[in-house]
Structure 1
Amino acid sequence: MGRDVLLVGEPGTVGAFPSEEDGRISVCSSPEEALARLRSGEPCDVVVAAELPGMDGVNLLARLRDEYPSVARIVVAPPPAIAIGYRIADLAHQVLPAGSPPEALREALGRTLQLRELLADERLRALAGSVDGLPSLPRIYGDLTAALESPSCGAAEIAAVVCRDPALAAKILQLVNSSFFGLPRQVTALPEAVACLGVATLRSLVLSTEAMSLFRPAARAAGFDVDGLSARAAATATEAARLAAPEYRSDAFTAGLLSDVGLVLLAAKAPELLRRDEAELGFTHGAAGAYLLGLWGLPPGVVEAVAFHHEPPGAPAGGDAGLALRQAVGLAVITAHESGLKVAD
């Protein structure tokens, strides 16, 4: 399994891995040098752009997305970089603030490198790596705009709108967990994420996500029912949270909401694969979606539950958070599929 990291920028940002089995870091002084190494065929699984000045980081990320989509993209940037708009958030898989301890970046790198085991198919890595945004239900944006403009609307009401759209929910969670907000722990509850972002930031994120929703025509042209998926995802999330033990409910809701995000990815990027049997392809839509969410930095428990949401949930598991979470999501998926559950508007 590859463990090669290309660091573009300041070497002290990362430090060193304990051993080569954890990762091998090569340093480049400029984006041009990094691209030249990639063109020469140098092995690379993750590129870290560390505090690159001006638009250098944005331009490098865009080139990597277009020319080397299977390479994971992590950015270390000062908070003023957010003034460039959400271009960095759209182009990077994960964003860490400048000044983070080396351990924080090594942890992010470790999680990202482990994803290679989850999805071995290079085509799917490239598909996931090229993603800016996912198709979204257009009516969500009108409802969300109305909610944001209401003076009496709070975070819970806004989150109730957001949860009907797996793509928008995923993007909100990606941004709030990007470490720009300096949160001491992962946030998986949408009301908390909405409260952390604030109305102005959320409005900008909605506009950014809508600008990236060019996948929607391709998904629908492939005969994919985006509206039906959104309704089923919301029902799965609600059922997963109901079934989960109290300490797992937030992650269960998130995993249920995003459980079929891999289907949207395939419908938008490779619709011909939707018509083929997953056993023949050698991967599942759960693994494809989980890989994308892992790139975005969602918690490992959520990523695992999405990856295996169609596997038999098995017997109740004792204190293992991952197994308890997987069981709740797996049962919720079965219930939603078999009974045609939908969440009322």
Structure 2
Amino acid sequence: MEIINMMDTPRALFVDDEGMVLNSLRRGLRQQCRDWELKLCTSPQEALRLLADFDPWVVISDKRMPEMNGIDFLRTVSQKSPESIRVLLTGDTSVEGALDMADVAHVLIAKPFELKSFVRILQRVKCIRALPISKALRHQLGTIEHIPVEPRLYQKLLECLKSNRSDTRDMAGIINQSPYILAKLLQLANSAFLGFARPVWTTHEAIARIGIELTKNLVFCFGVFENSGINDSHLRDQLSSEAMDVALLCRELCVSSGCDRREIDDAFLVGLMHNIGKLISTTTRMQSNSDGSDIFPLIEDVAGAYMLAMWEFDSAFVNAILYQSIPERAEQKTLLCCRLYVAKIVNYSRKLKISALDYESGLNFPLLQSQGLLHEVVSWITHVEKQTIRDNK
């Protein structure tokens, strides 16, 4: 598999018709991102002529320019240099505006902006380029027709949480703006898996029960599903339901293993995000360039990891999503990835009505043994399957 050479100098192309803005960026970024090679253009046409020879890792463009608007410019970039991460600077932060720009921009930066926004973007791009993804797959990912953007409701929630005056009622007011996310949140808060006997009926009560940090992450996940671009609501709900099933199994495995609250919440979150790549692969024709063997990550897992890296998720989450189907191939094997893998095997075995401990399930016992997980996993699966048998009687 031809992997992009990480010894290359990172390169960024900035386009803005205001020269003063570009000069200010040049001065600031030279101090904080000295390893980057920067090209700054006041003309979109000039920038397009530079694309082939410069081969930028990231292209950042203003939206409103007299010669060519930023959307049209980035659309051309997506055709001429699809491996480049595309960033759009815009004053339009509405949900409708974000969706309109989602087919050309991987990342939106609201104006007015601060220098640290660009520093974070460049850091994020370096993380994305570090993923073990071939140039051919990067090309395919760069030509995705509908790019899931960071949910606007999630952005509002972050702004709310930054305020010293914010509380769960403020959060509830934001979440109530989306019936889909609200329904999913209440469904989870009333799930028997969380161990609560009394039902809750209000958003405020659901947040208090689940916790602020987990609620924030749930809003992100559910927001991605809500704005996935899938026209088939049945398929979207099916993927969302599958994500919830795996997430609950991840959580149950962690609780059974005596994990702390952070590990439990992380496992639940990675379970919810595990099939995000399928949202992309169902709306975009993507083909794997592997030789058909099982040593390469699945195309949907690559897409999911790519998007999580784009959204600045921790590297542990990105790694878990990328290697969730072949954890034994990960350079850095983690408990988070292994537990996600186990939860998926159990969920898959349930559908086939076989034991996850049977040979047919494909569970990798040597891997679990090497990670010190075998005993706790076998004990948990045995308990879960006995409980399922009792419940079905």
Common fold: TM-score over 0.5 = yes
Find the counterpart in structure 2 of residue 339 from structure 1. 350
Find the counterpart in structure 2 of residue 8 from structure 1. 15
Find the counterpart in structure 1 of residue 134 from structure 2. 121
1:56 is aligned to 2:34: no
Quote the Cα distance in structure 2 between the aligned partners of 1:50 and 1:201. Answer: 33
- Counterpart of 1:129 in structure 2: which amino acid? G
The structure showing larger relative contact order (alpha-carbon pairs under 8 Å, at least 6 residues apart) is 1
1:41 is aligned to 2:48: no
Alpha carbons of structure 1 residues 180 and 25: separation in structure 2 relative to 1, 3 Å: farther
Find the counterpart in structure 2 of residue 67 from structure 1. 80
Larger Rg: 2
Q: Per-residue displacement from partner, 1:44-103 (whole Å, max 9, x unpaired)?
A: 110112464487122222222333221101223224676746322443211222233312
Report the number of matched residues.
Answer: 285
Identical counterparts, % of pairs: 21
- Counterpart of 1:42 in structure 2: which amino acid? F
1:241 is aligned to 2:217: no
Contact in 1 for aligned 2:63/2:69 (Cα 8 Å): no
Quote the Cα distance in structure 1 between the aligned partners of 2:94 and 2:237. Answer: 35
- Counterpart of 2:251 in structure 1: which amino acid? A
Alpha carbons of structure 1 residues 262 and 84: separation in structure 2 relative to 1, 3 Å: closer
Q: Per-residue displacement from partner, 1:258-287 (whole Å, max 9, x unpaired)?
A: 323335544654455399625476876423
* Aligned with residue 276 of structure 2, among 232, 256, 261: 261
Find the counterpart in structure 2 of residue 29 from structure 1. 42
Please list, as runs of the form range in 1=range in 2, the aligned pairs for 1:147-186 lying within 5 A after superposition: 171=149, 173=151, 176-177=154-155, 181=159, 184=162
Q: Per-residue displacement from partner, 1:153-203 (whole Å, max 9, x unpaired)?
A: xxxxxxxxxxxxxxxxx6564773599958659xxxxxx999646627989
Q: Per-residue displacement from partner, 1:227-270 (whole Å, max 9, x unpaired)?
A: 76554322112222344442244443332223233355446544
Q: Which moved more, 1:105-114 or 1:247-256?
A: 247-256
Quote the Cα distance in structure 1 between the aligned partners of 2:309 and 2:172. Answer: 21
CA displacement at 1:112 relative to structure 2: 1.8
Name the TM-score, length of structure 1 as normaliser. 0.63
Quote the Cα distance in structure 2 between the aligned partners of 1:259 and 1:247. Answer: 18
Q: Per-residue displacement from partner, 1:90-126 (whole Å, max 9, x unpaired)?
A: 4321122223331232122212222112143112112
Contact in 1 for aligned 2:180/2:226 (Cα 8 Å): no
CA displacement at 1:37 relative to structure 2: 1.0
Please list, as runs of the form range in 1=range in 2, the aligned pairs for 1:252-291 lying within 5 A after superposition: 252-263=267-278, 265-266=280-281, 268-270=283-285, 272-273=287-288, 277-279=292-294, 285-291=300-306
Find the counterpart in structure 1 of residue 146 from structure 2. 133
Contact in 1 for aligned 2:270/2:320 (Cα 8 Å): yes
Name the TM-score, length of structure 2 as normaliser. 0.56
CA displacement at 1:42 relative to structure 2: 1.7
CA displacement at 1:325 relative to structure 2: 3.7
Alpha carbons of structure 1 residues 300 and 183: separation in structure 2 relative to 1, 3 Å: farther
- Counterpart of 2:246 in structure 1: which amino acid? T
- Counterpart of 1:238 in structure 2: which amino acid? L
* Aligned with residue 341 of structure 2, among 313, 318, 330: 330
Gaps of 5+ in 2: 1-7, 17-21, 164-169, 182-222, 255-259, 354-393
Q: Per-residue displacement from partner, 1:26-53 (whole Å, max 9, x unpaired)?
A: 1111222211211x43221101124644
SS state of the match for residue 91, structure 1? coil
Q: Which moved more, 1:305-314 or 1:20-29?
A: 305-314
Gaps of 5+ in 1: 135-169, 186-191, 221-225, 315-321
SS state of the match for residue 86, structure 2? strand
Contact in 2 for aligned 1:133/1:209 (Cα 8 Å): no
Quote the Cα distance in structure 1 between the aligned partners of 2:94 and 2:61. Answer: 13
Quote the Cα distance in structure 2 between the aligned partners of 1:177 and 1:66. Answer: 29
Find the counterpart in structure 2 of residue 199 from structure 1. 177
- Counterpart of 1:239 in structure 2: which amino acid? L
